[in-house]
Amino acid sequence: MKVSELIEILSEMDADALVLLATQPGWPFEFGILGVTRRAEMLAGEDGEPATETHEPGTAPSDVLICEGAQLRYGSRAAWETARRR
């Protein structure tokens, strides 16, 4: 999914609603979100300079990662079914 696609989907949602991660469709859980980072920030050196190279095939410094926070509760498999319909 591209950032622009996620922004479009989220723009249709209630701006005051919580954003959660649904994980493990076989044994679903709901997690809060700790934060968001870019791969370049993760790979930055101690000097804080962003990395310009990737270390894994198929990755890019501009990749965005949404980081899982605390597990909140059991989830529902229905989350994956409804997400596929978007």
Give the Cα separation of 72 and 82 in Å (integer).
Answer: 20
At 23-32, the pLDDT tens digits run 999 999 999 9
pLDDT higher than threshold 90 for residue 78: yes
Expressed as residue numbers, the domain containing 71 is: 3-84
At 17-55, the pLDDT tens digits run 999 999 999 999 999 999 999 988 887 777 767 666 667
Q: How many domains does the chain have?
A: 1
Q: How far is CA 9 from the centre of its chain?
A: 13
Mean pLDDT of the chain: 90
Q: Are the C-beta atoms of residues 45 and 51 closer than 8 Å to each other?
A: yes
pLDDT higher than threshold 70 for residue 66: yes
